[in-house]
Chain A
């Protein structure tokens, strides 16, 4: 989703999100990563202390501060799917690149 050729220094962001349902929460999560990358020059690598409820999400995202080469434009609702099956969640999100 995000490319960079710079090592960058370590950084982290606390993320707290709310959305009407789980599928939109997934969209909001990806939207947040795009925002942090584009505005803060933050390249996310790992999400820690992730807490997801039906309409809220909190997490600490760790990564590096570096100049991105490529970032997706947006997260669309086109063909958006998220469903639990066999003890796992499977989702499909279409990104505008």
Chain B
């Protein structure tokens, strides 16, 4: 990577001339410190592989939280021009529409007082975590309605609130979803998992708004210093994992038909206009709608927990700020072109004025939520015009891993980490100590630095900094 060129304060480039198979340059947003961490794994090599995809335009782009993934790096963005540019299921990832939803409670941390521990405990009892068929919403045939319509299908069945749907990216429904494109195995895996957190880095976190950094924007988003918030991080569970697996295999089997050569088999792809491309996009949209509905159902369970511990008025006053996807491919228009924008571990961050943003927020920009590692800060951002000019309307999605789960477990035991977090005033509920250790704060990059970079790059600006006071980990 000795030929990494510095373009400006926060942007670096690997020119397309570095490899014969690169169609466009690979660009990464970072500062010197983050770049050093990024260079520690194969993330930029993987970004160069992405730059070889047929139909890719402008550049393969990496956010400052980039880290090595499977084929496509996490924190990567690739836009392919329609109709013949490719779609790559690996460019979305296994957890289709993994994303984040932020709720605000109508009270401050001091008003919450000792109710904190009881609330964290009640949320842990109300939201099934871990793996398997643990969900309370066994919908049977109704599952297909969820795949087509997303959370609106749950509202129609009395689950959750209609105003939550209004404050969800794409109003919780990607168009073109077709349940028939979702395999029977994926249906089986999803049937009992609606309303469940999952494992890995998924969580429900109780937080305090520590600092408001943009007063007018925070006021519009309904955030005030000292306020209690709840951040929900989950995705499409086994259903999405199976959709990705199914379609990676299909595309792997047909790539020679389309004359596609790949540096990594996990980048398997097909023209978006091909039968295989259309089938994946229909199944991916269905899985994305399932994920929006999953977070909607989790939010409904959280409100019920709030009602039991803090009363109906507090539950009624608990409002959804927004819900964002960070693993998805969407058809968007950029610079007069119809593009398929793959975001894998990257968040849409459209600027003020976009019709994709709810009218209440349209003068501010799209809300973006950036969870830090467990025990560190999270951020609320708002999209800026620079995102449209430089990154296909995209910003980062988190702190980004700095070490593997195995290495994290070798550095600290789960019980020790639990004690450390609780000593810092963070109530912790987690099914296994092993799972807790894998998400230790030191296993991630510094989230403060990551969001400073995206702000300096003009992709999104900081609105508020949130710190954890309790966490239920999947």
A interface residues with partner B (beta carbon < 8 Å): 3, 20, 24, 31, 35, 37-39, 41, 67-71, 73-80, 94, 96-97
Contact = CB atoms under 8 A, between A and B. Distances in A.
Contacts of A70: 130-131, 199, 432, 434-435
Listed from nearest, the 9 A-B pairs whose CB atoms lie closest are A78-B70, A78-B266, A77-B265, A76-B70, A71-B131, A74-B94, A73-B241, A77-B266, A74-B241
A68 B95 contact: no
Nearest to A27: B249
Contacts of B264: 78-79
A16 B432 CA distance: 34
Contacts of B131: 37-38, 68-71
A73 B94 contact: yes
A46 B379 CA distance: 47
Contacts of A35: 185, 188-189, 242
Contacts of A71: 131-132, 199
A77 B435 CA distance: 25
18 contacts: A3-B432, A35-B189, A38-B131, A38-B133, A39-B188, A39-B189, A41-B133, A69-B131, A69-B432, A70-B131, A70-B432, A73-B94, A74-B241, A74-B245, A76-B248, A77-B268, A78-B71, A78-B264
Nearest to A67: B132
A74 B405 contact: no
Contacts of B200: 73, 97
Contact of B253 (A20, A37, A41, A67): A20
A39 B188 CA distance: 7
Q: Is the interface of A mostly helix, strand, loop or mixed?
A: loop
Given A69-B431, A70-B199, A38 B132 contact: yes
B244 interface: yes
A71 B185 CA distance: 16
A31 B199 CA distance: 18
Contacts of B166: none
Given A74-B244, A78-B70, 15 more contacts: A20-B253, A35-B185, A35-B189, A37-B132, A38-B238, A41-B132, A70-B130, A70-B131, A71-B132, A71-B199, A73-B200, A74-B94, A77-B266, A77-B268, A78-B266
B443 to A, nearest CB: 13
Contacts of A80: 265
A77 B248 contact: yes
B290 to A, nearest CB: 15
Interface string B187-207: 011000000000110000000
B252 interface: yes
Contacts of B248: 76-77
Given A69-B130, A74-B241, A97 B405 contact: yes
A41 B252 CA distance: 30
Contact of B245 (A38, A75, A78, A94): A75
Contacts of B188: 35, 39
Contacts of B95: 73
Nearest to A35: B185
Given A70-B435, A71-B131, A74-B244, A24 B71 contact: no
A44 to B, nearest CB: 14
Contacts of A24: 249, 252
Contacts of B133: 38-39, 41
Interface in B59-99: 70-71, 94-95
Contacts of B266: 76-78
B429 to A, nearest CB: 15
A67 B196 CA distance: 15
Nearest to A5: B432
A21 to B, nearest CB: 10
Q: Which of A79, A94, A96, A97: most chain B CB closer than 10 A?
A: A96
A4 to B, nearest CB: 10
Nearest to A23: B265
B252 A77 contact: yes
